Amino acid sequence: AQVIARAYNSDLRRIPGPVLNRFTTLPLKLRVLSGRRTHYIHALHKIYGPVVRIAPFEVSFSDMRAHREIHKVGTQFIKAPWYQNQMPGQHSDELTGVFGVRDPKKAIARRKLFQMAGSLTTVLEWEPLIVDIIKQTVQEIKQEGRQGVVDLMKWWQLMAADVVGTLAFGEPFRLVEKGQKSEFIENVEASTLYVGLRLELPWIMNAFQYIPLPPVGRPADMLKRYVSNGQKAVQNSKAAAKGGIKTLFSKMVPEEGEAPLPDFLVAIESANVIVAGTDTTATLLTWLVYAVLKNPSVKRRLLDELDSCPQAPDWEILQAQTYMQNVIAETLRWMPPIPGPLFRQTPAGGAVLAGYAIPGETVVETQAYTMHHNPDVWEDPDNFNPDRWNHVTQEMKDSFFPFGGNARTCVGQNIARLEIVHAVSTFFRECPDAKLADSVTSESMDFIDYFAIKPVGGKLEIDLT
């Protein structure tokens, strides 16, 4: 009776959506398990329009005004409890990394400690170090390419983990040098999958905690390793404060005065940024290369532009390469690395969004993939067309959020952007004849999502011969 009352006796009953979803989260959670959440919600928006009730207490919006209202700076819509399901025992703002902090004031304070990553001036101090890692990655790709096809996604993962790992840990990570997916990367991948599933299905995933899962063993041990790796970042950041390389966490463990965060939280933050910064950057580059190699005219124009660039271009020069910038923006639109919902909660008194009254403490969300593929804003949205960025309209700006909503936008986006421009320019200049290997098909490059995306085929093979 309670389930029926909940389904019918609230303002939510006016919201379109499948009847079954008013009663149960099951249809949604089944898609979560199979990595099809984003595809499912996208399909529901096509059928039911811009506002869809996707679960008893969950509403998805594909509407610019609703998106702006939910995510504006100073918003009343705080992060949903979902964000504190990352790991067991993190159900409080004092026990979780920034990603899971829900209280807006506490989030602002915690985000300030990431100033090292947030400020472009600081990030540019790391440019030579990042460029070295990228050059080394592309040399390894060329080397491997002499022997046969190369899985480019593997190399972008190693590279992105090296960049963010080196910045977090203050010492070279050397994953590219080792050249194979280390235990560390496997741990990151498995953590991403486990945490992605745990966020949505905490009870089920708790049951799996002590069961060994190949290749990483018991999730409980994996999570312990994950945080104990972070301890190293804490030690190094302390050493850095005394005159070593600045790390991402230099603000959190200052040279003088009391540390604003206890060591265990800095360890969690460092482990989290490696997950946040590795697969996101790597998949963006993977789909960018795929799109460029699939479209000969795009490839031609990109190579022409890069040909006329100075030999060792820096950030400023690369910012001025308009075609390359269009290709990057178009990839972020077409295949956003975090394509799915950004879960928020309505204030206790409820809210009106896109003309619907929504009760208090309902989960409301907007997903980038759907808003980036809205045909009312983007002509022929499934088509990869960098030229659409020659004329940016207000509607495009309002519907584009690959780095999240304004109030809680990505703290690592300057690092990601710096890495992406250098990786694109170095790769295409060094490997102008790269082709897609036969294993690459539209099916293998469809995406699955566990918060961040992955190609269904798990790789992107290219041929350099």
Q: Does 412 bind ligand HEM (CB under 6 A)?
A: yes
Measured between alpha carbons, how far is residue 56 from residues 203, 248, 290, 396 in Å? 18, 40, 38, 31
Closest distance of CB 430 from ligand HEM, Å: 21
The structure tokens listed for 21 are: 């979803």
> Looking at residue 103, what DSSP letter applies?
S
Query: In whole angstroms, what is the distance from residue 59 CA to residue 367 CA?
Result: 11
Query: Do residues 441 and 138 make contact, with C-beta atoms less than 8 angstroms apart?
Result: no
The rounded Cα 127 to chain-centroid distance in angstroms is 21
Binding to ligand HEM by residue 152, rule CB under 6 A? no
Binding region: 410
Largest CA distance in the chain: 71
Query: What is the closest distance, in whole angstroms, from the C-beta atom of residue 5 to ligand HEM in the complex?
Result: 31
Q: Interacting stretch for ligand HEM, rule CB under 6 A, among 29-37, 256-264, 387-395, 409-417?
A: 409-417
Nearer to ligand HEM, 10 or 96 (CB): 96
Nearer to ligand HEM, 388 or 408 (CB): 408
* 250 near ligand HEM (CB under 6 A): no
Contact pattern for ligand HEM over residues 334 through 373, marking x by CB under 6 A: ---xx---x-------------------------------
User: Applying CB under 6 A, does 199 fall inside the site for ligand HEM?
Assistant: no
Looking only at residues 318 through 337 of this chain, which bind ligand HEM when binding is defined by CB under 6 A? 337
Other beta carbons less than 10 A from residue 456's beta carbon: 14
Rounded CA-CA distance 429/303 in Å is 7
- CA 160 to CA 274: how far, in whole Å? 9
342/421 with CB nearer ligand HEM: 342
Q: Does 266 bind ligand HEM (CB under 6 A)?
A: no
Q: Which stretch binds ligand HEM (CB under 6 A): 182-190, 198-206, 356-364, 402-410?
A: 402-410
With tokens 């594909």, the residue in question is 62
Please check whether residue 106 is in contact with residue 79, taking contact to mean a CB–CB distance below 8 angstroms.
no
Distance CA 284, CA 281 (A): 5
Q: Which residues pair with 78 in a beta bridge?
A: 345
Residue list 121-140, contact with ligand HEM (CB under 6 A): none
Q: Does residue number 82 form part of the binding site for ligand HEM (CB under 6 A)?
A: no
Which residues contribute to the site for ligand HEM (CB under 6 A)? 98-99, 107, 111, 117, 164, 273, 276-277, 280-281, 284, 337-338, 342, 402-404, 408, 410-412, 415-416
